[in-house]
């Protein structure tokens, strides 16, 4: 029996290896995934960083909050109030799941490093009610100082 999720070892994908929260979410992901949860794939422009997929993310948080809660670095020098550009991200998939961009956000994106058509600010990219798949790319964070 797995000491984390208490399933028989044959049913547990990661026996005795991860915390109970992660273990349950991984083991039961196919069963509990529904239209009220998001799966978010995070790609990194920084060399050597592998993509990460986050499952069972609830609506209501901004992408910045989601990544910070999962110990993924994304600078946010203004504290997440749409007053800098350090939380700049690219949304590769699932833009329709994010709160609509505002004029103020567009103005700041224009000042970001290498803005593109799919640019957003992580602190303003709120996950709308519902669920689905979102994929983002985080620019190289080594270009920023501070937090």
- CB of 8 or CB of 79, closer to ligand FES: 79
Nearer to ligand FES, 38 or 108 (CB): 108
Closest CA to 94 of 141, 132, 63, 146: 132
Strand stretches in 19-145, DSSP E: 37-44, 52-58, 88-93, 119-121, 132-138
Q: Least distance (Å) from ligand FES to the CB of residue 39?
A: 23
**To the nearest whole angstrom, how small is the minimum distance from the Cβ of residue 81 to ligand FES?**
6
Comparing CB distances to ligand FES, the nearer of 26 and 78 is: 78
The smaller minimum CB distance to ligand FES, of residues 77 and 141, is found at 77
Which residues are at the interface with ligand FES (CB under 6 A)? 76-78, 80, 82-84, 86-87, 108, 121-123
Q: Which residues pair with 136 in a beta bridge?
A: 42, 91
Enumerate the H helices of 1-147 as residue ranges.
20-27, 29-32, 63-69, 103-110
Burial (CB count <10 Å: 0-12, 13-18, 19+), residue 48: exposed
Beta carbon of residue 126, minimum distance to ligand FES (angstroms, whole number): 12
- How far is Cα 70 from Cα 83, in angstroms, rounded to an integer? 23
Nearest approach in angstroms of CB 146 to ligand FES is 11
């Amino acid at each position: 029996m797995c000491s984390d999720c208490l399933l028989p070892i044959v049913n547990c994908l990661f026996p005795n290896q991860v915390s109970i929260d992660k273990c349950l979410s991984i083991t039961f992901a196919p069963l509990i995934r529904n239209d009220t949860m998001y799966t978010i794939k995070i790609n990194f422009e920084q060399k050597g960083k592998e993509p990460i997929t986050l499952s069972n993310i609830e609506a209501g948080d901004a992408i910045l909050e989601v990544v910070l809660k999962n110990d993924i670095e994304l600078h946010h020098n203004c504290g997440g109030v749409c007053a800098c550009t350090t939380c700049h991200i690219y949304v590769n998939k699932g833009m329709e799941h994010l709160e609509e961009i505002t004029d103020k956000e567009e103005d700041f994106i224009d000042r970001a490093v290498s803005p593109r058509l799919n640019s957003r600010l992580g602190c303003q990219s709120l996950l709308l009610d519902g669920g689905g798949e979102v994929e983002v790319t985080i620019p190289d964070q080594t270009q920023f100082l501070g937090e």
